[in-house]
Structure 1
Amino acid sequence: MLRPTLCFITALFVFENATMSSANEVKHVSANGTELAYVEVGQGEPVIFLHGGLQDYRMWLAHLSKFADRYRAIAYSRRNNFPNEVSSDGMPDGAADAHGEDLAALLRALGLSKVRVVAHSSGAHAALFFAAKYPEMVVSLALNEPPAAGILIGIPDAAEILKAWGAAIVPAREALKAGDAKAGIPLFVNTVGGPGTYARRSDADKRMNLDNVASYQADAMMKRPRPVFTCDMAKAIKAPTLLSNGERSPKFFHRIVDELEVCLPNRERVVIDGSSHTVPSENPDAYDHAVLAFFAKN
């Protein structure tokens, strides 16, 4: 007969392995005229995870088990990202309004009426559009550095930040527009994360970046202007919202979150030490702890 301690350890081992096995089972659902890939673990209240640019559902795999004992944790790949159908003529990564509509359609397809959302970068931008249009579907939000630059338009002290950011990102956009992923991906990663960020990424992360270059190439070639996320839209989001920044993130992202903090009526803010833009990957323990603590009280 197993001792109680051994029984607990055995049960924990079985749970963790079952969790990771489930997280590696990629499912597919039709939503908004396209097929979206997703993985899920756990049971209970649903939490949806949205990735950023040059990423897909895999960026969240190491996080899901931390949520699975309390929540049904679902990470999906946004339209035009691996392993979905991809094309440089497809949906741009920065089409936050359209990705927000896809999120609403995904939830309906999964039979979910109300969810919590954890989102990074351009995924967080999409989550803002989603939450503003469908506030009845949101319990709470955790948003890491959305590039919602539209919220800075017309703010005098932000004009130089927008100008500087636009100039900084041009080399990456031009390289990717020309089809030079070998040069463009490191340029993009080092612009949003700081010099040397790409070199520090794992081989798996670099592979993921390459697998998802099409949506950012579509971004670089996009000519049609998209709707911008405004302060008035933010004011429509009543759900509790956790805003996060990386300690070393570019000023561009901090300034956007400054304005979101002003405009969102029910928000908290945290700065995660030892990280730049990709906070969930650079300091995952601190990030997950902050999000779980926030969800526990909201």
Structure 2
Amino acid sequence: MVRHRSVHGVDVAYRRAGEGPPLVLVHGAGEDGRLWTPQLRSLSDELTVVAWDEPGAGGSGGLPEGFALADYADVLAGLIVTLGLAPTPVCGLSWGSTVTLELSRRHPELVSGLILTGAYAGWKGSLPAAEVAARVAALEPLLAAPEGEVDLVLPDLFAAGPPGPFTALVDAMAASVRRDSLRTQLAIMAATDLSAHLPAVRVPTLLLWGELDARSPLRVAHEMARVIPGSTLVVIPECGHVTNLDRPDEFDRAVRAFCRGLPTR
């Protein structure tokens, strides 16, 4: 069931399942909280799992004018506080990992652990400048094309295409993407460099990567593991960028073990 809270003037939709220690899930660009459907089922046997629709996605309200990365982090912080979840581990995938890192930078008291999967310290902070420029150039025609004429599901998100059980889910999320929101995310990712924050992370951090991730390659994971103090890198074999759908069982095992190892509130 989708619930709603008003946070800093933004209507935020979220899903909540289970009882126990909290876990907050932050989806990637062109997605919404439905991305975490298998985790809302599987991890809720021992955790309170909360997956938001970020502003401008899913059932949440639209992006206010001039919405920036700090605003995404502040609204997420407000939701965590409003729901009484703090301090909580936060798991961010892809673009969601950048939002999660910004949350930990601006509101460290709310975060008890980080799970970064297929992550970036912003594109500028994790990828060569030429690669960032190429991504922007490749996505601009998609965003300019007429509605219904372009598939916004990138071909390299999975090791071998969307897994059968989740094909309909991926298609449904793609069909509901708001292009203005995606355009905002693209601009923020291209301009963001949070690499200087990584050595300052002071909470347990799990880096959870797909072996075959073509969007955030393993070299990004190894660099994060090198600079984030005490971080642990787990690589899922034969897995692409969207780890939680490509290999949900392996993903859930790693997340469950990480959460069990955190101090209880």
Indicate the TM-score class for this superposition, using the shorter chain for normalisation: 0.7 to 0.9
Structure number with greater Rg is 1
Q: Deviations over 1:218-254 (max 9, x none)?
A: 445x5998552123x1122111010011111127432
Q: TM-score, normalised by structure 1?
A: 0.77
Superposition CA RMSD, Å: 2.7
Gap runs ≥5 in structure 1: 1-24, 153-157
Question: What does residue 161 of structure 2 align with?
Answer: 197
Gap runs ≥5 in structure 2: none
2:48 to 72, 77, 82: 72
* Amino acid in the other structure paired with 2:35: M
- Determine if contact 1:168/1:191 at 8 Å carries over to the other structure: no
1:264 Cα deviation from its structure 2 partner:
0.9
| SS at 1:202 equivalent | helix
| Residues 210 and 79 of structure 1, relative CA distance in 2, 3 Å threshold | same
Q: Distance in 1 between matches of 2:69 and 2:161?
A: 25
Matches within 5 A, 1:249-260: 249-250=213-214, 252-260=216-224
Q: Distance in 1 between matches of 2:102 and 2:209?
A: 19
Question: What does residue 99 of structure 1 align with?
Answer: 72
2:130 to 163, 177, 189: 163
Question: What does residue 142 of structure 1 align with?
Answer: 115
- Determine if contact 1:54/1:210 at 8 Å carries over to the other structure: no
2:175 to 210, 216, 227: 210
Question: What does residue 102 of structure 2 align with?
Answer: 129
How many residues end up aligned between the 2 structures?
A: 259
Matches within 5 A, 1:1-298: 25-86=1-62, 95-147=68-120, 148-152=122-126, 159=128, 162-168=129-135, 170-180=137-147, 182-186=149-153, 189-193=154-158, 197=161, 202-214=167-179, 215-219=181-185, 222=187, 226-231=191-196, 233-250=197-214, 252-298=216-262
* Amino acid in the other structure paired with 1:149: W
Q: Distance in 1 between matches of 2:188 and 2:258?
A: 39
1:175 Cα deviation from its structure 2 partner:
1.8
- Determine if contact 1:118/1:143 at 8 Å carries over to the other structure: yes
| Residues 46 and 182 of structure 1, relative CA distance in 2, 3 Å threshold | same
Q: Distance in 2 between matches of 1:210 and 1:283?
A: 23
Q: Distance in 1 between matches of 2:114 and 2:228?
A: 11
Q: Distance in 1 between matches of 2:54 and 2:158?
A: 22
* Amino acid in the other structure paired with 1:294: F
Q: Deviations over 1:172-208 (max 9, x none)?
A: 332213445532514xx115447x6369761231121
- Determine if contact 1:240/1:266 at 8 Å carries over to the other structure: yes
Q: Deviations over 1:43-63 (max 9, x none)?
A: 121111111111111111211
Q: Distance in 2 between matches of 1:28 and 1:131?
A: 23
| Residues 146 and 248 of structure 1, relative CA distance in 2, 3 Å threshold | same
